Structure 1
Amino acid sequence: MNSNSYYDQPPQTYYQGEEQEEMPATEKDLAEDAPWKKIQQNTFTRWCNEHLKCVNKRIGDLQKDLSDGLKLIGLLEVLSQKKMYRKYHARPNFRQMKLENVSVALEFLDREHIKLVSIASGTV
């Protein structure tokens, strides 16, 4: 029998301090460093950048670069070929301004009857 088969491999372990503890498969899949998450993130980042180059914008880190709403608004405008219905902060300096920009983007999706489903990372 081939010793490199899936069933001959020991379960992946994670270390917490001095003791070694096995993590169940479902927890491994949900772990912050799960391989599928990095693949999804890279794929979506490349897809966004492909569309954002039309407006000379680029995303490096999804969480940081979408947090002020500007690149999200840019992406929505490129994809829909429409402008936002409301004004937004072109230079959001404060957290409140950033949140308002994200709200403008979400309101746009709502008015266009676009529903968001299966948003990954466990937080919405």
Structure 2
Amino acid sequence: MDRGQRAQGRLSGALTAARDWLDDRGRPAWIVAMILGFVAFWPVGLAILGYMIWSNRMMSCSTRTRRNRYSMTSTGNTAFDAYRSETLKRLEDEHRDFVAFLEKLREAKDKAEFDQFMEQRQREN
């Protein structure tokens, strides 16, 4: 391996470590890094902003980060690990059901508003 490839490998490793460190601290850490990048050298801040938008780190919470937080290693206590796994699965199922329920509520509200609009329109004609 030549010198350039080794340097590129080290840079890639450092950027990956920095990304993981910032992900562990959340969106505020990314925002601070972006601001510091703009202060130090504006293209760096712009690159960080572009990466944040491209990788969806500007959104409230990426699912990858959320999943990594909950996929902890084994504690050694199999009963607790099973309980934790079952509880997290139950919570994910409840969350999915709740989101589906909210979607149905939105659809019902939209349908009611549309029906009201159509009745009002028929009365006007």
Which structure carries more relative contact order (alpha carbon 8 Å, separation 6+)?
A: 1
Greater strand proportion: 1
- TM-score under structure 2 length normalisation: 0.27
Higher-helix-fraction structure: 2
**Superposition TM-score, scaled by structure 1 size:** 0.27
